[in-house]
Amino acid sequence: MTEKVTRLAERLAVLLGPDAVITDPVRLRTYECDGLTNHRARPALVVLPDDGAQIAQIVRACVAAGVPYVARGSGTGLSGGALPRTDGVLIVTSRLRRILEIDIANQRAVVEPGVINLDVTRAVRPHGYYFAPDPSSQQICSVGGNVAENSGGAHCLKYGFTAHHVLSCEVVTPDGEVVELSADGPGYDLLGVFVGAEGTLGIATKVTVRLTRVPQTVQTLLAAFGSIEGGGTAVSAIIAAGVVPAAIEMMDALSIEAAEASVACGYPPGAGAVLIVELDGPQAEVEHQFAQVKALCEEAGAFEIRVAADDAARALIWKGRKSAFAAVGRISPAYLVQDGVIPRTSLPRVLARIDELSAESGVRVANVFHAGDGNLHPLVLFDDAEPGAAERAEGVSGAILDLCIEHGGSITGEHGVGVDKARYMPRMFTAADLDTMQMVRCGFDPAGLCNPGKIFPTPRLCGEVPGVRKGVHPLVEQGKADLF
């Protein structure tokens, strides 16, 4: 630990109490990564604040000491967004887990950032409401993490992402100020850019979330196809028919095999692909469209269609899908989870190309995707004990991202850029695009201490905090910029 950090640790122990400051190297190491384990960095210090006021104190202390800091919720992110800095402080929000207010009349709840996503739903369910964003990790991921990553989930096809379900946030800005950002207040929609900024624009300390009315009815079906193409055809037909399901998910043969090994979900044997389609809403509406969806699946060649008769049957259908990532661990010693997006109509071409990539490289790829919105999650399998296998897998994984960009898609649909994909950003965006995004960052965090090194491959020079100026910009004068 450097002298600077030692002094900061002492200061923080005074502010927060010794229990809230971790300095023991063995303990620190348990925080070295989040859900993405191939990037690791032991933080210089971990702090466990109890409330938002303490977070503001911590941030101010870090700023005063010139020490970078990173916020972490439950540590389930898959892009290394909460990867610590070896020279910095990791601020963990796991003790900020109070649901502060439930206001059903106004369809909202105020929660602390460490509250677990599913706990919000559990708390409001008796009132007939739920919190719509449902990432696969919803049983453990925190609302603060959802805000940082703009998390989606299987049902975001119909209900949108976290950004659509957050009404306002109390935020500790990178300079330690506490401000309220809201979507409908006067002025810029800073909340809109804060949500999904991967913790680079400050730390949310209170989140007001929108609650969604539990739909009158939910219908779920599982359709088994001989091949991925059949499933793809069904998806296109459903969308073309003007149906907006709550979710459309697809799994290929290899991912079905993994899920079967893990949770014995009992999907139809011999399926080359399964499609899960869920409709929800008013009864009459759902019944009408469900019949349509069933017919369209049959037309597309589904050889078996199962309709969930009750919640238990629905849970079993979803169980295979929701466990798919972790389940791949059962059929492969190691794997990479990729997250890319393509226009839905490009699905057949892109999948065919992924098959080719897999065949050319000898690297197995299992495909799980949110088919409704073209969000692919190829799982690239390899044996980490085999020399060179990890590199080959990395190669295939990267090539899949290139494929997404080629088809006008995105390098990430929900896992975020974090530290993992910063290097791919220049393939999707021009230097000017990235520079422009970083103007926001410079406005929020001119000192660059708040979760530095994430999203952007190269930091933008913020210079001094700008004010209203006349004449030549100092950066131009210093020869650091051409024109402002």
Query: Closest CB to another protein among 104 and 359?
Result: 104
Q: Are strands 99-103 and 108-111 parallel, antiparallel or unpaired?
A: antiparallel
Q: Are strands 89-92 and 69-72 parallel, antiparallel or unpaired?
A: parallel
Alpha helix stretches (DSSP H) within 48-142: 52-65, 117-124
Q: Which amino acid is at 240?
A: A
Q: Return the range that interacts with another protein (CB under 8 A); candidates 9-17, 189-197, 249-257, 295-303.
A: 189-197
Ranges within 28-47 binding another protein (CB under 8 A): 29-31, 33-35, 37
Q: Are strands 247-252 and 273-281 parallel, antiparallel or unpaired?
A: antiparallel
What's the DSSP call for residue 454? S
| Per-position x/- string for 217-256, each x denoting binding to another protein as judged by CB under 8 A, each - no binding | -------------------x--xx-xxx------------
Ranges within 398-437 binding another protein (CB under 8 A): 408-417, 421, 425, 428-430, 432-437
188 interacts with another protein by CB under 8 A: yes
Write the CB contacts of 29 (distance below 8 Å, at least 6 apart in sequence): 42
Residues recorded for the chain = 484
Residue 126: exposed, middle, or buried by beta-carbon count in 10 A (0-12, 13-18, 19+)?
exposed
377 interacts with another protein by CB under 8 A: no
Q: Which of 108, 206, 314, 321 binds another protein (CB under 8 A)?
A: 108
Which one, of 66, 64, 72, 65, lies nearest residue 46 by Cα? 72
Q: Which amino acid is at 82?
A: A
Ranges within 112-131 binding another protein (CB under 8 A): 114, 116, 128
The site that binds another protein (CB under 8 A) totals a number of residues, namely: 134
Q: Which of 47, 342, 357, 450 binds another protein (CB under 8 A)?
A: 342
Report in angstroms the alpha-carbon separations of 272 from 228, 256, 357, 381, 483: 6, 9, 19, 18, 56
Q: Which of 139, 356, 383, 423 binds another protein (CB under 8 A)?
A: 139
| Per-position x/- string for 50-69, each x denoting binding to another protein as judged by CB under 8 A, each - no binding | --------------------
User: Which residues lie across from 110 on neighbouring strands?
Assistant: 101, 208
147 interacts with another protein by CB under 8 A: no
| Per-position x/- string for 293-322, each x denoting binding to another protein as judged by CB under 8 A, each - no binding | ------------------------------
Ranges within 197-216 binding another protein (CB under 8 A): 197, 213-216
333 interacts with another protein by CB under 8 A: yes
CB of 327 to another protein, least distance (A): 6
User: Which residues lie across from 166 on neighbouring strands?
Assistant: 209
User: Which residues lie across from 366 on neighbouring strands?
Assistant: 379
173 interacts with another protein by CB under 8 A: yes
Query: Closest CB to another protein among 57 and 150?
Result: 150
Q: Return the range that interacts with another protein (CB under 8 A); candidates 7-15, 63-71, 222-230, 283-291.
A: 283-291
Residue 123 · residue 211 · CB < 8 Å: no
User: Would you state the structure tokens that stand for residue 225, as one six-digit string?
Assistant: 């196809």
99 interacts with another protein by CB under 8 A: no
Cα–Cα dist 225/231, whole Å: 6
Query: Closest CB to another protein among 32 and 355?
Result: 32
User: Would you state the structure tokens that stand for residue 273, as one six-digit string?
Assistant: 């692909």
Residue 361 · residue 367 · CB < 8 Å: no
CB of 359 to another protein, least distance (A): 26
156 interacts with another protein by CB under 8 A: yes
Task: Provide the strand spans (E) within 325-463.
Answer: 334-337, 340-341, 365-370, 375-382
Query: Closest CB to another protein among 360 and 383?
Result: 383
360 interacts with another protein by CB under 8 A: no
Q: Return the range that interacts with another protein (CB under 8 A); candidates 22-30, 245-253, 267-275, 351-359.
A: 22-30
285 interacts with another protein by CB under 8 A: yes
CB of 304 to another protein, least distance (A): 25
Query: Closest CB to another protein among 408 and 459?
Result: 408
Which one, of 368, 422, 378, 425, lies nearest residue 400 by Cα? 378
451 interacts with another protein by CB under 8 A: no
CB of 356 to another protein, least distance (A): 22
User: Which residues lie across from 335 on neighbouring strands?
Assistant: 381
Q: Which of 10, 189, 311, 356 binds another protein (CB under 8 A)?
A: 189
Residue 150 · residue 163 · CB < 8 Å: yes
